[in-house]
Amino acid sequence: MKQLALVLLVACGARDHHVYRLPSACQDADDAAEAEACGAWLLDEMMTAQLGVYEDPALERYVRRVGERVAAESGRDDVDWTFRILDDPGVQAWAAPAGFVYVTRGLLAFLDSEAELAAVLGHEVAHVAAGHTEELLHRLPEPSMRDLDLATLFQLHRDDEAQADQLGVQYAAAAGYDPSGLQRALAALHQPGLMEDAPSWSDRHPPLAARLSLAARAAGPDPDGRHGRRRYLEAVAGLVVGRDPRRGVVAEGRFVHAAAGLSFAMPEGWEHPEDWEPGQLHTQWFRAWSADESMGLLFLPLTHARGSVLEAAIEAEMERAPTRERRIAGYRAVEGSLPVDDGKELHFNGGVAAVRMLIVHARDGHRYGLMVAANRTEDGSHGDADALYRAITESFRRERRPPTRARRIRPRAIEAATRVDELIRDGCARSDEATLVALLNELEAESVVPAERTIKCLAP
- Position 350 scores a pLDDT of 54
Burial class (CB in 10 A: 0-12, 13-18, 19+), 77: exposed
Lowest mean pLDDT among 84-98, 243-257, 307-321: 307-321
Q: What is the mean pLDDT of the chain?
A: 79
* Average pLDDT score over residue span 389-394: 93
Q: Is the pLDDT of residue 250 over 70?
A: yes
In DSSP terms, which residues pair with 271 in a beta bridge?
A: 289
pLDDT digits (tens, 9 = 90+) for 179-188: 888 888 888 8
- Position 26 scores a pLDDT of 57
- Position 331 scores a pLDDT of 93
User: How far, in Å, CA of 192 to CA of 210, rounded?
Assistant: 17
User: How far, in Å, CA of 161 to CA of 130, rounded?
Assistant: 11
Lowest mean pLDDT among 19-23, 172-176, 191-195, 372-376: 19-23
Question: Sorting pLDDT into bands at 50, 70 and 90, what band is 69?
Answer: very high
* Average pLDDT score over residue span 441-459: 89
Question: Sorting pLDDT into bands at 50, 70 and 90, what band is 39?
Answer: confident
Question: Sorting pLDDT into bands at 50, 70 and 90, what band is 346?
Answer: low
Burial class (CB in 10 A: 0-12, 13-18, 19+), 411: middle
- Position 188 scores a pLDDT of 82
Q: Is the pLDDT of residue 12 over 60?
A: no
Q: Which CATH number applies to 245-398: 3.40.1000.10, 3.30.1050.10, 3.40.50.1970, 3.40.50.300?
A: 3.40.1000.10
Can you give the length of the chain in residues? 460
Q: Which residue has the higher pLDDT, 38 or 87?
A: 87
* Average pLDDT score over residue span 195-221: 62
